[in-house]
Amino acid sequence: MKRSFLVLCAVLASFAFNSCDLNDDDVNFHFVPLQIVSADLPDFFVFNETYIIRVTYIIPDGCTYYEGFDFAKSELTTREVVVIGSQRTDQETCTDIAQEREATFEFIVVHDEPYLFKFWQGEDENGEQQYLEIEVPMN
């Protein structure tokens, strides 16, 4: 019984000494948009079907990590697509080597009109958003 009590105390003490500091408000990353190089879409859509859309994007350095996609519906069948990454701010050294990567998302066709996809590619020298635009007709 005494031994079990000592083991329990040791376990509780290890949790107490290794706990997280809840008052640590330092943010060690921020979200960034990642440049889309290309997108692979079908030649046409069929109403109510689901498609896998493959996107090639650029990871700019060793401190940036893929997080997912962000979608905006600007019109009934227009979708703006951005790849989102998280960029670490607490690492002193990062490789400056950019790498192309691929990711996919599922798209369900819910309208019987052509879809326009606008894949974010960055900003031009005037700060204007640049997109790779691909229209997919209906069959």
Could you tell me the two tokens for 23? Answer: 């008052």
Q: Give 107's contacts (C-beta < 8 A, 6+ positions apart).
A: 50, 51, 52, 53
Asked if the structure places residue 89 within a domain, the reply is: yes
Asked if the structure places residue 59 within a domain, the reply is: yes
Domain count, the chain: 1
Question: pLDDT tens digits, the chain, 139 residues: what are they?
Answer: 445 444 444 544 454 544 455 555 666 889 999 999 999 999 999 999 999 999 999 999 999 999 999 999 999 999 999 999 999 887 667 888 999 999 999 999 999 999 999 999 999 999 999 999 999 999 9
What is the pTM (predicted TM-score) of this model? 0.78
Question: CA of 117: how far to CAs of 16, 57, 121, in Å?
Answer: 51, 15, 12
Look at residue 25 in the predicted model and tell me its pLDDT.
Answer: 60
Asked if the structure places residue 16 within a domain, the reply is: no
Full domain range(s) for residue 103: 25-136
Asked if the structure places residue 6 within a domain, the reply is: no
The Cα 55–Cα 69 span in angstroms is 10
Asked if the structure places residue 111 within a domain, the reply is: yes
Asked if the structure places residue 102 within a domain, the reply is: yes
